[in-house]
Structure 1
């Protein structure tokens, strides 16, 4: 069993260990997900990925993240706009790290 892994999904990298709960970009999956783009596994560094390494995770829920407000203003123009955005995210629980 490996202790720590760094994998990438959705253009971002995540440092995880078994039992961690991670929020990632939206995945179209239910049940379990397996990531094979593992950049680092304990002391092994991939070029760019570690051969044969996998991170297995269980999908806990699909939800939307916190609201982010965008405020635009032009001075002396009486121009103000507020726009809100909530990103879709998937909550995962790391069940196994194979190496």
Structure 2
């Protein structure tokens, strides 16, 4: 199942278990956040979004890379240099409505099979 959510003036397509980086949200790491759903679906079928919410957990608060803002006007001795780092929040999507994130059982089985293949 997937959902389209809006936060910070942008829209994101999310599914249970996804990690996304959004504009800064209030809260500490480990806090739960709910987001309103604009559109939801399962495969090519769309679902009703009445009362549907996306549950997420805040993993970290941070800042993005530095962006240099440089302004110049030729032949007027006008140069301005400024830097900016945007605050952001890393979210882990835990559930869409009643659909929870599934555990990765296939990943746990893969490391055990790899050493057996190396010995042969």
Structure-2-length-normalised TM-score: 0.72
CA distance in 2, matches of 1:77, 1:91: 43
CA distance in 2, matches of 1:80, 1:60: 40
| 1:44 aligned residue | 47
* More relative contact order, 1 or 2 (CA 8 Å, 6+ apart): 1
Greater gyration radius: 2
The within-5 A match list for 1:45-84 is 50-84=49-83
Structure 1 unaligned blocks of 5 or more: none
CA distance in 2, matches of 1:53, 1:67: 37
CA distance in 2, matches of 1:51, 1:10: 22
More helix by proportion, 1 or 2?
2
Structure-1-length-normalised TM-score: 0.86
Task: State the SS of the aligned residue for 2:96.
Answer: strand
Structure 2 unaligned blocks of 5 or more: 99-120
> Structure 1 segments of 4 or more deviating over 2 A?
none
- 1:34 equivalent to 2:34? Answer yes
1:79 Cα deviation from its structure 2 partner = 1.4
CA distance in 1, matches of 2:66, 2:51: 38
